Amino acid sequence: MPSLDLPAINTRLAAASAEEITSFAVETFGDGLILSTSFGAQAAVMLRLVTLVKPDVPVVFVDTGYLFPETYKFADELTKRLKLNLKVYTPQVTPARLEATEGKLWESGLEGLKRYNQLFKVEPMQRALKELNATAWLAGLRAKQTDHRAQLRAVEEQDGLFKVHPILNWSGREVHEYLKKHGLPYHPLYDLGYKSIGDVHSTRAIGFGEDERAGRFGGLAQECGLHLPKTETENASAGSAGL
């Protein structure tokens, strides 16, 4: 993994555009760079932004087996349209086996939800990072989404690799304008009130005035764990994300 002066880099990128931050990541990390996507509400933004600069970037999609039918169709549409180098990773435990042996963990309070997220989201993603020899991870996190994300910078070091956030400072309006400008679609459920979309069992439409992530995880958490640090010291920040 390259040695980087993160304070200097983040100072330099503070006023940089999303395109400039993406180009920095491609130039710095090359073939060690991967992009993750959940094919959520606004996934097309990052997918287009990054593949314009690096068309062959590995795009990691963690398929929990509990996604909406519309999500799978949306994933197929964007994969074909943007010619994505898609890498699908699934949990080592099937949904049927989980429910037979441990039940519906997401119905067992915060601890059950955390175990579910570890088995069905975090472990597959960590396996992907290892198998793809990733040194840096591009993610479409935005500061206004959760308390944890509000503390992030354009480039972070987390759990032995670098994470790059090109659209960290974008507003919802900027996301909408980018999609509209380039003729890109929202997730099919977006117009039905689903502003943040994950698993069927942990996602609901939101009401007027609610935060866009209020419909996730039954109000128990803001984060699924994919983007939270794993080390003991850094995990202290998890409390700010409601975990």
pLDDT digits (tens, 9 = 90+) for 59-91: 999 999 999 999 999 999 999 999 999 999 999
Residue 243 pLDDT > 60, yes or no? Answer: no
User: Given this model, what pLDDT does residue 35 score?
Assistant: 97
Nearest to 62 by CA among 137, 123, 142, 153: 123
pLDDT digits (tens, 9 = 90+) for 83-130: 999 999 999 999 999 999 999 999 998 899 999 999 999 999 999 999
Nearest to 22 by CA among 176, 150, 139: 139
At 155 the three-state DSSP class reads strand
- Using an 8 Å Cβ cutoff, are 225 and 121 in contact? yes
C-alpha 70, offset from chain centre: 18
Q: Which residue numbers are catalytic?
A: 224
- Using an 8 Å Cβ cutoff, are 165 and 152 in contact? yes
pLDDT digits (tens, 9 = 90+) for 17-44: 999 999 999 999 999 999 999 999 889 9
- pTM beyond 0.75: the answer is yes
DSSP output for 73-114? HHHHHHHHHHT-EEEEE--SS-HHHHHHHT--GGGSHHHHHH
Residue 239 pLDDT > 80, yes or no? Answer: no
At 34 the three-state DSSP class reads strand
Residue 174 pLDDT level (bands cut at 50, 70, 90): very high
Structural domains of the chain, ranges and CATH numbers in brackets: 6-234 (3.40.50.620)
C-alpha 125, offset from chain centre: 10
pLDDT digits (tens, 9 = 90+) for 175-227: 999 999 999 999 999 999 888 899 999 888 877 666 665 666 565 554 445 55
